[in-house]
Amino acid sequence: MLSLTGTVVRRDCTPQSGTRCSLCNNGTFMNQPNGLNKCFPCTSCVPAHGVFAQQKCTVTTDTVCDVLSGYFCRSLANDTGCSLAEKHTHCAPGQRIKEPGTSRTDTVCEDCQPGYFSQDGVNCTAWTIGFYGHHSPLLVVCCAVCFLQKVSVILISFLKYL
């Protein structure tokens, strides 16, 4: 005879007595009628693996793990959710976020177009052409677009004759 969900066989039936079942112990579960004598251990959701317990283990259901904020799932398990997650990629300077990461996908980065820059790896901003820095008659710093469509800083020095 099978034991019910949440229980396992403690003693098999004999000609003199029926099957005896017992509830699963804390930290174990059985999600189906069975003839087993041991419950399954509950899944652990390890924060160091980027996951947390969304649903705690009961005698009839396993733990369900979900992804921590800032992570995406790398390994999706059958009934227990995500077993391993990874931190979202941070885009490098010179790139922007094309598609933000979700709990199921990583961040997608893309290089800034020519004439644009990104210091923080989030958004690209157009270069501005103009004068920067010290505006003295002896030294002027300006930005100009080169023929390769990259921005250069040009130092122009003016000598003052007496």
Instruction: Report all structural domains of the chain as residue ranges with CATH numbers, in order of start.
Output: 1-41 (2.10.50.10), 42-87 (2.10.50.10), 89-131 (2.10.50.10)
pLDDT at 87: 97
DSSP state of 41: E
Give the pair of three-digit tokens for residue 11: 């003693």
- Range scoring the smallest mean pLDDT among 24-28, 57-61, 114-118: 114-118
Which of the residue ranges 12-21, 88-97, 140-149 would you say has the lowest mean pLDDT? 140-149
Q: What is the pTM of this model?
A: 0.66
For the segment 105-136, what is each residue's pLDDT rounded down to a tens digit?
Answer: 999 999 999 988 898 999 999 987 655 555 55
| E strands present in the chain | 7-11, 20-23, 28-29, 40-41, 51-55, 64-67, 71-77, 81-87, 95-99, 108-111, 116-117, 125-126, 130-136, 139-145, 151-157
- The residues pairing with 20 across neighbouring beta strands, listed in sequence order, are 11
pLDDT at site 85: 96
